[in-house]
Each structure stands twice: as C-alpha cells, then as structure tokens.
Amino acid sequence: MAKNYPTVSAEYSEAVEKARRKLRALIAEKSCAPLMLRLAWHSAGTFDVSSRTGGPFGTMKCPAELAHGANAGLDIAVRLLEPIKEEFPTLSYADFYQLAGVVAVEVTGGPEIPFHPGREDKPQPPPEGRLPDATKVLTT
C-alpha cells in the first residue's frame, strides 16, 4: 500500500529547499549534526500509536517540552535553528525540525533521505515520558 503524503504548494517546497541549504551550512559550520539529529528524534519519538498523539509537530520549541528531562540540552538546538527558521515563516516548525535531522544525516555522510513536508504545528507538547526507555526490554 502506497503512503499518502500531504501536498504542499510550490512556494512551500521552494522554502524547504532554501532552508535545506541554510541548514547544511549551519550544521557543517557549527559541527552540530548529532544535536540536530537528536532534536528530530526526540520530537518524532514522542508519538503514541494508541492515542495518535505526540510526534513531530513542532512542539519542541515549547518551554514545557524542552523542560522534559530527556530533552536536556535541546534548547541549544532550538536556539541555533531559530535565526534560519525566522527566514522561512511559511515553514512549520514541525517540518523544519525534521528537515534539520534529515540534513544532519546527509552532512555526516549518511544517505540522502527523502523528505516529505506537510506536518502541521500543534499547540500542546506531549506529556513527559513518551520517549522509548532504552533500559526496558521490548516485548512483541
């Protein structure tokens, strides 16, 4: 079954590509790829299948989510990204933070990752404790 992705305007797609170039320069200059990848993962890793809440919806910029124990230090990533984000007000934070993760993989020599924009920002962050606990055994 084919995955359906949101449709975005040509203007939005162009903003994504321009932001991608700016992100590539920032990540290379600041050597902050691990931090950007962590930001993207911590945002996406909060998704809860049963309630269909959490996930990469731009809430990582919220002080409440940045205050989650597992997110210590991610305020640095948010601050580094904000000047670029301000240049692209049409982009959602949700897309922008995930794009930063994609670019971080590419800058470090990883594969080119297809990026599908169209995420909408949500107003409320997920509750603390949503990230998978690496100390717990996963049962199937």
Task: Check residue 69 and report its DSSP letter.
Answer: G
Tokens of 91: 């982009």
- Judge whether 68 counts as a catalytic residue: no
Give the bridge partners for 62, in sequence order: none
Q: How far apart are CA 101 and CA 33, in angstroms?
A: 8
Can you read off the two tokens belonging to residue 47?
A: 């998704």
| Alpha helices, DSSP H, located in the chain | 10-30, 33-44, 63-66, 74-87, 93-107
Catalytic annotation, pick one of 38, 42, 61, 130? 42
What is the C-alpha to C-alpha distance for residues 53 and 115, in angstroms, rounded to an integer? Answer: 21
Cα–Cα distance, 116 to 120 (Å, whole number): 12
Active-site residue numbers?
42
